[in-house]
Amino acid sequence: MENLAQEWLRLDRNPATRSEIQRLLAEKDHHGLEDRLSNRLAFGTAGLRARMGAGFSRINDLTIIQTSQGLASYLFREDEDVVSAGIVIGYDARHNSKHFAELAAAVFVTKGIKVWWYEDLVHTPLVSYGVQSKGASAGIMISASHNPGYDNGYKVYGRGGCQINTPVDCKIADSILQNLEPITWDPQVAIASDKRICVKAELTLEYLASLQSLFDMYHWHDSSSRTFPSFVYTPMHGVGLEFMSCALEKLGLKGATERMLIVEEQAKPDPDFPTVRYPNPEEEGALSLAKDTGDRNNVTLIIANDPDADRLAVAEKVGGTWIQLTGDQTGILLASFILSERVKLIEKSEIGRPMEETTVLTTAVSSSMLAELASHYSVKFEETLTGFKWLGQSALEGSLQGDETLFAYEEALGYMFPSIVRDKDGIAAACIFLAACKIWQSPYAELQRLYAQFGYYVTTNTYWRSPNVEATSQAFERIRASGSPHPYLVAGQRVLRWRDLTTGVLGVQGQFPRNSP
Helix, strand, coil in percent for the chain, rounding step 5: 40, 15, 40
Residues in Cβ contact with 232 at an 8 Å cutoff, skipping those fewer than 6 apart: 261, 262, 263, 290, 291, 293, 294, 297, 299, 301, 302, 303
Residues 374 and 380 sit within 8 Å (Cβ to Cβ):
yes
Q: Which of 472-481's residues contact partners 24+ apart within 8 Å by CB, and which partners?
A: 476/502
**Beta carbons within 10 angstroms of residue 7's beta carbon:** 13
Active site annotation includes 145? yes
Q: Residue 415, Cα to own-chain centre: how many angstroms?
A: 9
Task: Give Rg (Cα) of the chain.
Answer: 24
Residue type at position 225: S
Pick the catalytic residue: 145, 336, 366, 419? 145
Q: Residue 396: which of 359, 435, 349 has the closest Cα?
A: 359
Residues 309 and 125 sit within 8 Å (Cβ to Cβ):
yes
Ramachandran assignment for 145, one of left (phi > 0), alpha (psi -120 to 50 degrees), beta (any other):
left
Per-position DSSP letters for 65-92, written without gaps between them: HHHHHHHHHHHHHH-TTHHHH-EEEEE-
Q: Edge-to-edge strands of the sheet including 151-157?
A: 48-51, 151-157, 138-142, 87-91, 115-117, 196-198
Round to whole Å and give the CA distance between 430 and 309. 10
SS3 assignment for 118-145: CCCCCCCHHHHHHHHHHCCCEEEEECCC
Residues in Cβ contact with 459 at an 8 Å cutoff, skipping those fewer than 6 apart: 326, 328, 366, 367, 411
- Pairing type for strands 231-234 and 196-198 reads unpaired
Q: Which residues pair with 138 in a beta bridge?
A: 87
Residues in Cβ contact with 488 at an 8 Å cutoff, skipping those fewer than 6 apart: 494, 495, 512, 516, 517
Q: Residue 231: which of 299, 150, 157 has the closest Cα?
A: 299
Q: Residue 47: which of 161, 140, 133, 150 has the closest Cα?
A: 140
Residue type at position 406: L
Calculate ∠ Cα 392-69-103, nearest 5°. Answer: 90
Q: Residue 334: which of 433, 457, 245 has the closest Cα?
A: 433
Per-position DSSP letters for 451-513, written without gaps between them: HHHH------------SSHHHHHHHHHHHHHTSSSS-SEETTEEPSEEEETTTTEEEEGGGS-
So which residues are the catalytic ones? 145
